[in-house]
Amino acid sequence: MHTIVSLPALPVTAVLGDLTHVLEHKGCAVLVAPPGAGKTTLVPLHLLQQRWRGNGKIIVLEPRRLAARAAARRMASLLGEKVGETVGYAMRLDSRQSAKTGILVVTEGVFARMVLDDPELAGIACVVFDEFHERSLDADFGLALTLDVRGALRPDLRLLVMSATLDGARVAQLLDGAPIIESQGRAYPVEIRYRNRDAATKIEDAMASAIRSVLAEEEGSILAFLPGQREIERCMERLTGNLLPSVDLVPLFGQLDGKSQDAAIQPPPAGRRKVVLATSIAESAITIDGVRIVIDSGLARLPKYEPATGLTRLETLRVSRASADQRAGRAGRTQEGIAIRLWRSELTNSLPAFAPPEILEADLTGLLLDAAAFGITDLSTLSFLDEPPTPALSEARKTLIALGATDAGGRLTEKGKLIRTLALPVGLANMVATATEHGQAGKAARLAVMLTERGLGGTSADIEHRFRRFEMEKGPRAESARALARRIASSLPQSALRTDLSVAALLLLAYPERVARNRGGRGRYVLANGRGAVLDENDALAGSEWLAIADMQGKAQGARITAAAELSEFDVRSLLGHMIERRDEGFYDRERKALRRRTVERLGAIILAERMLPVEKGDEADRALIDVVRQEGIAILPFGQMAQSLLERLTWLHETLGAPWPDMAEKELLATLDDWFLPFLKGDTSLGALSQDQLCNGLRYRVPFEIAQNIDRLAPTHFRAPTGNSLPLRYENGEVVLAVRVQELFGLNNHPTVGATRVPLTLELLSPAHRPLQKTRDLPGFWNGSWMDVRADMRGRYPKHVWPENPAEAQATAKAKPRVK
């Protein structure tokens, strides 16, 4: 057991006794401690001294590599040691630990692998989940696995979940009613100020302006939060050369190498100030000495998975209230501070309380594969704070089965075991495993590592170009990445076969659904999964016929290709031949209004080749036309005036009289096509060849024989006006409408009706120029009422027509007054 002479007094110090008591007697606890409380460093060091630990390690999980390194260094410094002795860390591309290590700080993804590789967690006394409020997929999965291990194999394993902003009651319930211990807040007060950003102002411009103002008005260093690397780089461009020589301007984001990240959080030299432009990476678990001012853009870039396309895109969103509080807390870690928010104060209450857990927004293929490696084929047997969504799980299962990584029952196959050992995203792991069969494990492993470590090889959209740069790139981050690739490749079986695979061909093995073909227009592509995407037309790749896409950003058909490689149709056919479908298929040509047939080679939504075939007339063509109408709807039929009029009249008869007049709604017509439409087809291959008689006969066929002869009597097509003219009737919206010039109704004392039930016509009374005058269902009332106003207005406009004072007794006419000789 390690003995620590003294620890600094921080707010969390007051609850350390209660915490260790709960862990000793209950085994599980939830610690809620706001920023600045000291939980990340003091709690693990305090646990190191407890008897129940024995010789077991304390494992501390951090959400990011930067936080893990910073926490380990801080704890080691309190012990007066170097990292790797009593306190060590382990993460992808970097590890410092020894036989002496009692506290091991790990990233969440590393811990999940530790559990999968050793389900008993032998030699581990306690697992501490720090900053659990960030709710990463790895943290949720790691906690679920730990609870499973603790319940089945290691009841003595201590478990502590810590967070600054967390719904502690939900977590405590998940931990079978674990006690909740709360610590005091930050060590120093933080003043919150608001500085509204106009919607038309770019966030990097608003941030640069705010930084310049604050540097002139306040003392101390600044931590500025921006949504992503692009905004950080643009903000640096606006500030470089515009700051005093005594101010250091540094970036901090995930794609920087560890050395640059660590340098960004070091305190500035005496007499100098620092401005750190950071993403959410600096939101929690680290302290940047000297920072007393935080400027918050209020934005974050979060991944969102789309099961329908199998792609994860980054979306810029407003931060949650919990994140805003976390960011503000960075200003009060070592002294009184100021937090400036670039939005109106009233908007704070409208922010979501917490960011959505990653498990609800992420690709779950890796989670499902790891669960299968643990022997779990049904995730409902694990305890998650939020259940994984069904659509994403379903898509993940399909992907793993298609790759041959799991069988239909969700059990791991031999290939799945190999893929899981590679510590890579599933698609890239499959690429490396498949490339091994071609003797290209090393190249594939280097490409996979480069793609998982953003920024390696530069930022060009051309992956071939980036890969060549990465192969020659200097610096510890690139060298560590290549070393990891060598370790991955050396763990794979060797193949005597040697097939040269291009970077584009390797990408096809990783993401076969992202193969894309130009769809007309420079930089416009359609993917095998049916999604559309665009590439900047000025990019050298934009003229390529085929692309293998590694990454895209954006929504729906406007997605922007950010990483791809040019490939040939030969590569597509050679590597994805098993996915190419060859079949004869019929389709309906809307432009020609005709059936057509073709032999087609298709890779998902991409047509590789097609050859038109003749379409035979006959019963098969009739059936095909029936299917077209079912799919497209009744409106696709060539209803002319006669057939359309009959359909409208029959619809009106059903609505007015009911049964036995048949329902003529589209739903009923489509459901009975075989009864009324099919018998009147003649084997033609075109709907355009249908005659009005065929359609009318079909519609009449639906009417029972005993009432069919009454159609024209009960729902006539025309009305005979007093002038003797036959005027067409319209049947619409439950009414029978007659559009008629008012002079043709002179002498009519009763309102005209139609049908056996004498349904009043809706009269659209027209002027001599066929302009609407008035609509009525009471002609006598019109004659005795508003006629005089109409007459007064119309006499001046149409003096050559008759406008009698008493139209009910006048002679109907369709003509103007005869000329006077």
| Span 239-258, pLDDT tens digits | 988 888 899 999 998 777 77
**Tens-digit pLDDT profile for residues 109-146:** 899 889 888 889 999 999 999 989 888 999 999 999 99
Alpha-carbon distance of 207 to 237, in angstroms, equals 12
Average pLDDT over the chain reads 89
Question: Under a CB-based contact definition with an 8 Å cutoff, are residues 663 and 611 in contact?
Answer: no
Which band of pLDDT confidence, cut at 50, 70 and 90, is reported for residue 818? low
Query: Is the confidence at residue 4, as pLDDT, over 60?
Result: no
Mean pLDDT of 310-317: 76
Which pLDDT score is estimated for 566?
95
- Per-domain boundaries in the chain: 11-182, 190-359, 422-572, 634-714, 718-809
Quote the CA–CA distance of 415 and 417 in Å, as a whole number: 5
Position 444 confidence tier, pLDDT thresholds 50, 70, 90: very high
Residue 530 is classified by DSSP as: S
Q: Is the pLDDT of residue 808 over 80?
A: yes
**Which range is least confidently modeled, 237-246, 254-263, 523-532?**
254-263
- Picking from 36-50, 297-311, 351-365, which range would have the lowest pLDDT averaged per residue? 297-311
Question: What's the pLDDT tens digit per position in 382-428?
Answer: 999 999 998 889 989 998 998 889 998 889 999 999 898 887 889 99
In eight-state DSSP terms, residue 280 is G
CATH 3.40.50.300 fits 11-182, yes or no: yes
Please state the rounded mean pLDDT for residues 206-216. Answer: 94
Match 């870039």 to its residue by tokens.
301
Percent of the chain whose pLDDT exceeds 90: 52
Decide if 225 contacts 295 (C-beta within 8 A): yes
Strands 753-754 and 337-341: unpaired
Sign of CA dihedral 526, 531, 537, 542: negative
Q: Higher confidence at residue 355 or residue 26?
A: 26
pLDDT digits (tens, 9 = 90+) for 662-699: 999 999 999 999 999 999 998 888 888 889 999 999 99
Task: Tell me the per-residue pLDDT of 54-88, one tens digit each, with 9 for 90 and over.
Answer: 999 999 999 888 889 989 999 999 999 999 999 99
Structure confidence by residue, pLDDT tens digits, 23-63: 999 999 999 987 778 889 999 999 999 999 999 999 999 98
* Token pair of 509 as six digits: 């093995």
Q: Is residue 66 exposed (0-12), middle (13-18) or buried (19+ Cβ within 10 Å)?
A: buried
Query: Which CATH number is 190-359 given?
Result: 3.40.50.300
Size (the chain), residues: 821
**Residues in contact with 754: Cβ distance below 8 Å, sequence separation at least 6, in sequence order:** 715, 716, 719, 729, 736, 761
In the predicted structure, residue 262 carries a pLDDT above the cut 90? no
CA distance 638 to 285: 69
pLDDT score for 302:
82
Residue 187: what pLDDT? Answer: 63
Q: How many CB atoms lie within 10 A of CB 592?
A: 12
Where helices occur in 179-222 by DSSP H, the ranges are 203-217
Given a cut of 60, is residue 820 above it in pLDDT? no
pLDDT at residue 81, as a whole number: 93
* Sign of the dihedral through C-alpha 314, 579, 503, 522: negative
Which secondary-structure segment (H or E) carries 158? strand 158-163
pLDDT confidence of residue 413: 92
What pLDDT score does 230 carry?
A: 87
Q: If we measure between CA atoms, which residue out of 351, 321, 324, 354 comes closest to residue 340? A: 324
Distances (CA, A) of 554 to 298, 548, 565: 20, 18, 19
Instruction: Assign 278 a pLDDT band (cuts: 50, 70, 90).
Output: very high
The percent of residues in the chain predicted with pLDDT above 70, rounded, is: 97
Q: Mean pLDDT, to the nearest integer, of 222-226?
A: 95
What pLDDT does 821 receive?
42
User: What pLDDT sits at residue 162?
Assistant: 93
Q: Check whether 207 has a pLDDT greater than 70.
A: yes
Predicted local distance difference test score (pLDDT) of residue 330:
84
Residue 582 has pLDDT above 60, yes or no: yes
**Mean pLDDT lowest for which of 201-215, 344-358, 454-468, 586-600?**
586-600
C-alpha–C-alpha distance, residues 819 and 815, integer Å: 11
DSSP-H helix ranges across 473-612: 476-490, 503-510, 569-575
Q: Which residues of 711-739 are buried (b: 16+ CB within 10 A; e: fewer)?
A: beebbbbebebbbeeeeebbbeeeebebb
Reduced to 3 states (helix: H, G, I; strand: E, B; else coil), residue 809 is helix
Name 73's Cβ contacts closer than 8 Å, sequence gap at least 6.
83
User: Quick check: helix, strand or coil at residue 583?
Assistant: strand
0.75 exceeded by the pTM? no
- 3-state class of 298 per DSSP? coil
User: Is 308's pLDDT higher than 70?
Assistant: no
Task: Give the model's pLDDT for residue 459.
Answer: 84
Indicate the angle between helix axes 463-472 and 441-452, nearest 10 degrees.
100
